[in-house]
Structure 1
Amino acid sequence: MMTGWSAANHQKQLLLAIGGVTFALWSGVAGSISAQVPVTAPSFEVASVRSVPAGQGYTSISPSGNRRFSAKNASMKLLIELAFGINDDQIAGKKLEWIDSELYDIEAAPEGDVPLSYEELRLPLQHLLAQRFHLTFHREWKNLPGYVLVIAKGGSKLAASKESSASGYIFQNGIRSPSISMKSLAAMLAHPLGRPVLDKTELTGNYDIRLSFAPDGSTDSPLPSIFTAVQEQLGLKLEPQKVPVEMLVIDHLEKTPSAN
Structure 2
Amino acid sequence: MFFSCLLSQCVAQSTEGTLPNELRDFPVSIVKPNVRNDGRWRAQFVATGYTAMGVTLKQIIQDAYFVYDESRLEGLPKWASTEKLDLDARVDTEQLATFEKLSTEQKQLLLQRLLHQRFGLQAGFEKKAGRQYVLTIAKGGAKLKRSAQAVNESNEKGLWPSLRPGKMVASHVPMGEFARSLGLVLGRPTIDRTGLNDHFDIALEWQPDLDSAGETSGPSVFSALKDQLGLELRLDKAATDVLVVTAVEHPQSN
Q: TM-score, normalised by structure 2?
A: 0.80
Shift of 1:126: 1.6
Shift of 1:112: 2.9
Structure 2 unaligned blocks of 5 or more? none
Counterpart Cα distance in 2 of 1:177 and 1:57 = 29
Candidates 196, 201, 212, aligned match of 2:194: 201
1:42 and 2:36 matched: no
> Higher mean Cα deviation, 183-192 or 80-89?
80-89
- 2:146 aligns with 160
Candidates 169, 172, 182, aligned match of 1:176: 169
1:112 and 2:98 matched: no
- 1:244 aligns with 239
- 1:186 aligns with 179
- Aligned partner letter, 2:251: P
- Aligned partner letter, 2:92: E
Contact 2:171 2:202 in 1 (8 A): yes
- 1:138 aligns with 124
- 1:128 aligns with 114
Shift of 1:146: 2.6
Counterpart Cα distance in 1 of 2:185 and 2:166 = 9
**Coordinate RMSD, CA, aligned:** 3.0
1:58 and 2:40 matched: yes
Shift of 1:223: 3.6
- Aligned partner letter, 2:180: A
> Higher mean Cα deviation, 32-41 or 76-85?
32-41
**Structure 1 residues 93 and 191 mapped into 2: Cα distance closer, same or farther (>3 Å)?**
closer
**Structure 1 residues 112 and 244 mapped into 2: Cα distance closer, same or farther (>3 Å)?**
farther
- 2:13 aligns with 33
- Aligned partner letter, 1:167: L
- 1:94 aligns with 75
Shift of 1:235: 0.7
Shift of 1:66: 3.2
**Structure 1 residues 128 and 160 mapped into 2: Cα distance closer, same or farther (>3 Å)?**
same
- Aligned partner letter, 2:198: G
Deviations 1:203-226 (A, max 9, x none): 222222111111236999754110
Counterpart Cα distance in 2 of 1:60 and 1:68 = 14
Contact 1:23 1:187 in 2 (8 A): no
Contact 1:196 1:243 in 2 (8 A): no
Structure 1 unaligned blocks of 5 or more? 1-11
- 1:5 aligns with none
Counterpart Cα distance in 2 of 1:51 and 1:91 = 26
**Structure 1 residues 250 and 95 mapped into 2: Cα distance closer, same or farther (>3 Å)?**
closer
**Structure 1 residues 259 and 53 mapped into 2: Cα distance closer, same or farther (>3 Å)?**
closer
Deviations 1:91-149 (A, max 9, x none): 43335333221211112321336275692542332222111110111221223223111
> Higher mean Cα deviation, 81-90 or 237-246?
81-90
Shift of 1:37: 10
- Aligned partner letter, 2:135: L
Candidates 40, 53, 57, aligned match of 1:72: 53
Shift of 1:253: 0.8
**Alignment size in residue pairs:** 238
The sequence identity of aligned pairs, in percent, is: 28
Deviations 1:1-24 (A, max 9, x none): xxxxxxxxxxx3xx1x32xx3242
Counterpart Cα distance in 2 of 1:33 and 1:87 = 15
Q: TM-score, normalised by structure 1?
A: 0.78
- Aligned partner letter, 2:117: Q
